[in-house]
Amino acid sequence: ERTPCSKRQGSKKGTKDGKSKSSKTSAEEQTDRLDVNDKKTQKNHKKKSDGQVAGTAWHEDGCLWGPGVRNIRVKALNSDLDARYRDMVKARREKVHRDSAGKVGYIHVPDMERLGWSEFHRHWQKERRRGGLIVDLRGNSGGCISELLLPRLAQSCLGWEVPRRGAPCPFPEAASVGPVVLLVDSGSSSDAEIAALGFRQLGVGKVVGTRTWGGVAGVSYDSALVDGTYVGVPVCGVYMTSAGYGLENKGVEPDIVVENSPQDYLMERDTQLEVAMSEVLDVIANTPALGHPPRTKPLKRDLNVEEAICNMNEETWPFEVWKAIKPRVERVRDVPWADVTEI
């Protein structure tokens, strides 16, 4: 179908030679390109044009172009769950540090995969050096790192390396210096339940919270359907020496049962975390041996007596002396390649 000539030229009815009755200015043409159907946009555009800097112009995409103009586009995240998660963990950690006067550390492990392992090590080196530690497995969806996590939690502090300057270091270096309490709830599932039961079986500390989910069987999702979904088939069971096959469909019963009520959620209060922190502080109070070792007192040395003893035996000094002594030449005994030395 052919288009009439008058329409192809853009003329209106009642005009001559296809020309419009009124000609448009460049500013009006820019306004039409923005959005001719949006009166609000046109109104705002006219207001901006009144105070517009010379040499600048509004582009059809709504940005102001020209010398000295910088347009910044902000791309929003497709999800703010990661930011909200970090904010939640930070708020819990600050609460534990504040209420315990810095004596208790806090670590949350979101899953038993790469994310959970990285989040554990993100805070492990710093939080384990406090008097006690809370490891939170609430909402943990499981995975396969329980055999890596349990040795770290089970390694207790056997001693300290006290340097001449600086803070003492625990021995072994990766050990926790105080008691450890584990937090679980109904959202702790799969490998997180194995970690909780192994934590208790090794005698590391108390388990606080509510009964876990009760599903530890390994599942394979290799069977794909034509509609894009998968069929999960159990392929592996879990047998624990302390519970047998009873972990499946039952979960782990905590040593101290504490449940956050709806009123706690309304008041933004975490009763389970408060009970776990109280348990750690009680163990610290009843175990005075935990904590940094005491500083040793400096020895009082009589340099005159030591010098007299060494001169009497005609031997070199086996220790460093902070007193000016006249150098003397003395033969080194039992050293065939050296005849004389100065001390």
Query: With bands split at pLDDT 50, 70 and 90, how would you rate the model's confidence at 163?
Result: confident
Nearest to 252 by CA among 302, 200, 297, 319: 200
Give the alpha-carbon dihedral of 87, 88, 89, 90, to 10 degrees.
50
Helices (H), the chain: 5-8, 26-35, 39-50, 81-99, 114-127, 146-154, 191-201, 262-266, 271-286, 303-313
Cβ count near 123 (within 10 Å): 17
pLDDT for position 112? 96
Query: With bands split at pLDDT 50, 70 and 90, how would you rate the model's confidence at 292?
Result: low
For the residues 241-246, what does the mean pLDDT come to?
A: 92
In angstroms, the CA 123 to CA 114 distance is 15
In angstroms, the CA 273 to CA 292 distance is 25
β-bridge mates for residue 170, sequence order? 160
Question: What SS3 class is residue 236?
Answer: strand
Give me the helix-helix angle, 81-99 and 271-286, nearest 10°.
Answer: 40
Per-chain mean pLDDT for the chain? 78
Question: What SS3 class is residue 237?
Answer: coil
Question: What SS3 class is residue 132?
Answer: strand
pLDDT for position 55? 60
β-bridge mates for residue 182, sequence order? 135, 207
Amino acid identity, residue 313?
N
Percent of the chain with pLDDT over 70: 65
pLDDT digits (tens, 9 = 90+) for 69-81: 777 888 888 899 9
pLDDT for position 312? 54
In contact, 182 and 137? CB cutoff 8 Å: yes
Which of 11-15, 123-127, 160-164, 272-276 is the most confident on average?
Answer: 272-276
pLDDT for position 32? 55
Which of 10-14, 56-60, 194-198, 312-316 is the most confident on average?
Answer: 194-198
pLDDT for position 8? 46
Give me the helix-helix angle, 26-35 and 39-50, nearest 10°.
Answer: 140
pLDDT digits (tens, 9 = 90+) for 39-62: 544 444 444 555 555 566 666 666
In contact, 147 and 121? CB cutoff 8 Å: no
Query: With bands split at pLDDT 50, 70 and 90, how would you rate the model's confidence at 177?
Result: confident
pLDDT digits (tens, 9 = 90+) for 310-329: 555 555 555 555 444 454 44
In angstroms, the CA 237 to CA 245 distance is 8
In angstroms, the CA 76 to CA 86 distance is 18
For the residues 93-107, what does the mean pLDDT come to?
A: 95
- Tokens standing for 316? 């070199």
In contact, 212 and 193? CB cutoff 8 Å: yes
pLDDT for position 56? 63
Cβ count near 58 (within 10 Å): 19
Tell me the CA end-to-end span of the chain in Å, nearest whole number: 113
